[in-house]
Amino acid sequence: MLDRLTSLEVFSKVAATGSFSAAGRALNLSQTMVTKHIAALESRLGIRLFHRSTRRLSITDAGRSYLESAERILTEMEAADSAVAADRIEPRGTLRLSVPVSFGSREIAPLLAEFSQRHPMVTVELGLNDRYVDLAEEGWDLTIRIGSLSNSSLIARRLAPCRTVVCAAPSYLKAHGTPRRTAELPAHICLGYTLARTSQADRWTFGQYDEITVPISGTLRANNGDALRAAAVAGQGIIYQPTFIVADDLRAGRLVEIGLDQPTQELGGIYAVYLPDRNPAAKVRAFIDFVAERFAAGPPWERGLAFSSR
C-alpha cells in the first residue's frame, strides 16, 4: 500500500510541473512510481485528477479542487515538522515538571526565575506531589525522584546525593537528653515519616549497608518532611530527614545534629527522570542541564555545614 502523504506530494508536484517525468526527477522517483501514486489516488477518490494525452497533461476540475486541499495538508504537515524540529533545537513550549513537595518548594522553585531568564520561550508547569507519578499516563515531561530508582525503561540523570541526618531542637535535648547510640533511640520520642521506602514510620535504618534497624515511636507521624521539621523545631521530638529539609534550621541553631554510633543513610540520590527518547525535547535537556550546573559543586543546601554522621 502506497503512503498517502507521499501520494499527495507526488500529485502536487505533477500539477506544478505538468509532467510525470519532471515530477519524478524532482522527487527522486521513477516515472513508473509516479504513475502508481496518481493511479492509487484516483482509485481511492473515484475521480480522474488529470487529462492525459500523448502530447500534454492537464489537471481536471476535480483535480484542481482536490489540489487546494492537498496543498493545505502538505503546508500544515511541513509546519508541524518544522515546529517539532524547532522544539528539538531551541527550548520552548510548556515544560510539565513534577517534583516532591519539600524538595520542589525549597530547592527547585527558587531556581525557576533564573531558568526563565535563560529560556524565556519555556513556560514551566510545576507540580508538587510526593506520590509516584506516571510520566506517560499523566503527561509529565520530567520528574525529580529521590532515592534508589527501580529498574524501568525511564532515563535518569543523577543530580546530587541525598544524605540524611538525625536531629532535634535544643529544647528537646535539654528536656530528654541526647542519645549517642542508635540503641538508645527507642527510649526517645521519634517522629516518623510515613512515605519512606527504606526506613519506615515505626523503624529507622542505619549502617554502611543499611543493616541496622531500630524500632522507634513517638507522638507524630506525617507524610511530609516539612511537617515533621516544624514539629521538631517546636521541641516535639527527634527526626531523621534528608539534609535539604533541615539544613536551614541546622545553620540557625533551631535544630542540632545528633551524632550516633552508626552512619545514617544516603537515599540513593536525587535524579531527573524522563521518558526514553534518543533526542528529548530541548526544553527537557535545558532544564536538566541547568539544575545539574547549579548542583555541580555539591548540594547547595549543605554548604557551610559539617556533619558528624558520615
- As for how many domains the chain has, the answer is 3
Decide which of 27, 61, 89 is a domain's last residue: 89
Q: What are the tens digits of pLDDT across the range 149-168?
A: 776 778 899 999 999 999 99
Q: For all residues of the chain together, what is the average pLDDT?
A: 88
Each residue's pLDDT tens digit, 168-187 = 999 999 999 999 999 999 99
Supply the CATH number for residue 48's domain.
Answer: 1.10.10.10
The pLDDT value recorded for residue 9 is: 87
Average pLDDT rounded to a whole number, residues 106-135: 94
Q: Is the pLDDT of residue 128 over 90?
A: yes
Looking at the structure, do residues 66 and 107 belong to the same domain, yes or no? no
More confident site: 250 or 75: 250
Least confident of 66-75, 78-87, 157-166, 293-302: 78-87
Domain co-membership, 227 together with 240: yes
Per-residue pLDDT reduced to its tens digit, 192-206: 998 876 567 789 999
Question: Is the same domain home to 179 and 205?
Answer: yes
Model pLDDT for residues 201-248, shown as the tens digit of each residue: 789 999 888 899 999 999 999 999 999 999 999 999 999 999 999 999
The predicted model gives 288-302 an average pLDDT of 93
Q: Are residues 277 and 153 in the same domain?
A: yes
Higher pLDDT: 88 or 181? It is: 181
Does one domain contain both 97 and 85? no
Same domain, yes or no: 129 and 274: yes
| 46 assigned to some structural domain | yes
Tell me the range of 65-79, 133-147, 275-289 where mean pLDDT is highest: 133-147
Specify the CATH number for the domain of residue 228: 3.40.190.10
| Structural domain boundaries, residue 189 | 164-257
The pLDDT confidence band at residue 284, using thresholds 50, 70 and 90, is very high
Residue 256 has pLDDT above 90, yes or no: yes
Q: What share of the chain has pLDDT > 70, as a percent?
A: 93
Give the list of residues 6+ apart from residue 6 with CB closer than 8 angstroms, or none.
Answer: 37
